[in-house]
């Protein structure tokens, strides 16, 4: 291995990236755009759930209950209904997610020894939002109920459940999205960049020219990797700064560890990109395969949005070969949990293996294609 030749290949690659406006955009602008878009548009915090109210009681107590829904910040009353029959239409049309039904005898039933029944009809089609809405509604009703019964003189509940949330104390979804997002963006950028630039070299036949020079194939592959790793690290650094400054995400662990893990991840992802583009040899197929093989799995099988544990075993097995999965664990661990190598060793090792495998595969395929 000759460092001068390696550096020459890197410089050539860097020049090519710099001259190509689209590559520059892909490398430097797109990550920021994605981060801003995701960071601002996606919050999984469910607020302002639209509800309709069928208040048959029209009493001070029923108004107080509705008021406690509104003042919680989780619900917005969009409509008052007159008949139960209207509930069907309003839920089907999706204009409200929950219909709160307060019976005519609400005040009387509250005063009487038995319970007063309050009904909630939920649009269950979006199970996730419905579950969260139901939990909020139950908590509000329980709070109201406790206030009413305490006034009535009942004892407080004998168990106090003190719940604490760790790592993300305010349960802000942004805190979980930004670290995961860095992993997703990096896998997209890595695969797209390499798939595009290297497949182009195959298509134009300049790869053969490169192979005809005295440069060793290991130097070619590594020389091509270096600029992209540098770009990737730069992107991650920018994303981390934006995450900290703009979105206020905490960074509790070691920055150095994050840098090392990121390098490993990038080597693996870029190696995969080179492998795909060398195996496909056409830019179109390469980008399509890169997209299918990296973007969607990184989005859906990495634990970024959907938890991996509830998936069937076969998908859990597949997720083990998605490098983004390990990287998501690492970024969340370092950002939110502040854990170090003692916890992340397994994920780190997985990424080292991916990096070695990615580079090895790239060199192998490259060798075969040239020969």
Partner 1 sequence: MTSRQALRIREMVKKEFRQLLRDPRTRAIIFVSPIIQLLMFGYAVNTDIRHTATFVVDHDATAASRRLIDAVTASGYFDITGRSQRPADLVKALDHGDALVGIEIPAGFARELALGRADVQIVVDGTESNSATVAQGYIQRIVREFALGYAVGADASAAGIDFRARAWYNPNLESRVYNVPAVIGMLIMLMCLLLTALAVVRERELGTLDQLRVSPLSPTELMLGKTLPVAVVALVDLVAVTLLAIVWFEVPMRGAPLAVLTAAVLYILSGLAIGLLISTVSKTQQEAFLSMFLFFQPAIILSGFFYPIESMPRIFQWLTVLNPVRHFLEIIRAVFLKGAGFGTLWPQYLALLALAAVVLGLAIVRFPRSMAS
Least distance CB 212 / partner 1 (angstroms) = 25
> Is 209 among the residues that bind partner 1 (CB under 8 A)?
no
The binder of partner 1 chosen from 2, 18, 45, 213 (CB under 8 A): 45
Measure the CA–CA gap between 159 and 46, rounded to whole angstroms: 28
Q: From the CB of 216, what's the least distance to partner 1, in Å?
A: 28
To the nearest 10 degrees (0 to 180), the angle between helices 3-19 and 217-245 is 50
Q: Does 361 bind partner 1 (CB under 8 A)?
A: no
167 contributes a contact to partner 1 by CB under 8 A? yes
Report if residue 288 touches partner 1, rule: CB under 8 A. yes
The backbone torsions φ and ψ at residue 102, rounded to the nearest 5 degrees and listed phi first, read -105, 125
**What is each CA distance from 217 to 13, 132, 221, 230, 353, in whole angstroms?**
15, 55, 6, 20, 21
Among 85, 164, 214, 256, binds partner 1 (CB under 8 A): 164
Specify the residue, 289 or 362, whose C-beta has the smaller distance to partner 1: 289
Rule CB under 8 A: choose which of 83, 166, 245, 256 binds partner 1. Answer: 166
Q: Segment 96-155, which members bind partner 1 (CB under 8 A)?
A: 110, 113-132, 134-139, 141-142, 144-146, 148-149, 152, 154-155
Query: How wide is the angle at C-alpha 22 spanned by C-alphas 18 and 26, nearest 5°?
Result: 90
Q: Residues 212 to 251: which contact partner 1 by CB under 8 A?
A: none
Question: Which position among 1, 60, 85, 159 is part of the footprint of partner 1 (CB under 8 A)?
Answer: 159
Place of tokens 């053969």: 208
Minimum separation from the CB atom of position 308 to partner 1 (A) = 9
Could you tell me the smallest distance in angstroms from the CB atom of residue 65 to partner 1?
8
282: left (phi over 0), alpha (psi -120 to 50) or beta: beta
- Tell me if 85 contacts partner 1 by CB under 8 A: no
Q: Which of 17, 31, 38, 51 binds partner 1 (CB under 8 A)?
A: 38
Q: In the bound complex, what is the minimum distance in angstroms from residue 92's beta carbon to partner 1?
A: 5
Q: Which residue among 205, 245, 309, 371 contacts partner 1 (CB under 8 A)?
A: 309
Buried b (16+ CB within 10 A) or exposed e, 29-48: ebbeebbeebbeeeeeebee
208 touching partner 1, by CB under 8 A:
no
* Of the candidates 226, 225, 238, 170, the residue with the CA atom closest to the CA atom of residue 366: 225
Among 1, 161, 256, 371, binds partner 1 (CB under 8 A): 161
When binding is defined by CB under 8 A, the residue of 6, 91, 226, 276 that contacts partner 1 is: 91
Q: In Å, how far from its chain's centre is CA 88?
A: 34
> In angstroms, what CA-CA distances link 250 with 65, 91, 196, 260?
37, 39, 35, 19
Closest CB to partner 1 among residues 36, 360: 36
67 lies in the site for partner 1, by CB under 8 A:
no
Determine the Cα–Cα distance for residues 312 and 305; give it in Å rounded to an integer.
16
Segment near partner 1 (CB under 8 A); pick from 219-227, 231-239, 255-263, 285-293: 285-293
Closest by CA to 116, choosing from 65, 70, 76, 82, is 65
**Residue 75: partners with Cβ closer than 8 Å, 6 or more residues away:** 48, 49, 50, 51, 69, 98, 133, 136, 137, 140
Degrees to nearest 5, angle at CA 180 with 179 and 186: 95
Binds partner 1 (CB under 8 A): choice among 32, 260, 339, 361 = 339
CB of 2 to partner 1, least distance (A): 32
- Answer for which of 261, 283, 330, 350 binds partner 1 (CB under 8 A) is 283
Is 16 an interacting residue with respect to partner 1 (CB under 8 A)? no
């Amino acid at each position: 291995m000759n460092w001068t030749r390696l550096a020459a290949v890197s410089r050539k690659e860097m020049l090519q990236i710099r001259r190509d406006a689209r590559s520059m955009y892909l490398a430097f602008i797109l990550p920021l755009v994605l981060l801003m878009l995701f960071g601002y548009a996606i919050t999984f915090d469910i607020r302002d759930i639209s509800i309709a109210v069928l208040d048959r009681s029209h009493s001070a107590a029923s108004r107080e209950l509705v008021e406690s829904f509104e003042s919680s910040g989780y619900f917005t009353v969009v409509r008052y209904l007159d008949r139960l029959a209207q509930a069907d239409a309003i839920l089907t049309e999706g204009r409200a997610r929950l219909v709160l039904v307060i019976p005519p005898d609400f005040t009387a039933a509250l005063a009487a020894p038995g319970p007063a029944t309050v009904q909630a009809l939920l649009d269950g089609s979006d199970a996730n939002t419905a579950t969260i809405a139901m939990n909020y509604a139950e908590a509000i009703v329980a709070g109201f109920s406790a206030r009413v019964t305490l006034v009535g003189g009942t004892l407080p509940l004998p168990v106090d459940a003190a719940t604490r949330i760790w790592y993300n104390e305010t349960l802000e979804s942004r805190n979980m999205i930004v670290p995961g997002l860095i992993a997703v963006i990096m896998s997209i950028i890595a695969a797209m960049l390499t798939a595009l630039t290297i497949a182009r070299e195959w298509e134009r036949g300049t790869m053969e020219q490169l192979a005809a020079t005295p440069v060793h194939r290991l130097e070619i592959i590594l020389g091509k990797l270096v600029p992209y790793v540098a770009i990737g690290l730069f992107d991650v650094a920018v994303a981390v700064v934006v995450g900290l400054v703009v979105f206020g995400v905490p960074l509790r662990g070691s920055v150095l560890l994050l840098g090392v893990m990121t390098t490993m991840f990038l080597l693996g992802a870029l190696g995969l990109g080179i492998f795909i583009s060398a195996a496909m040899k056409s830019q179109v197929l390469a980008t399509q395969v890169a997209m299918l093989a990296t973007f969607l799995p990184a989005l859906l099988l990495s634990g970024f949005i959907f938890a991996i544990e509830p998936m069937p075993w076969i998908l859990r097995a597949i997720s083990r070969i998605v490098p983004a999965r390990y990287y998501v664990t690492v970024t969340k661990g370092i950002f939110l949990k502040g854990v170090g190598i003692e916890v992340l060793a397994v994920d780190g090792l997985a990424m080292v293996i991916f990096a070695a495998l990615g580079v090895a595969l790239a060199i192998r395929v490259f060798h075969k294609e040239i020969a």
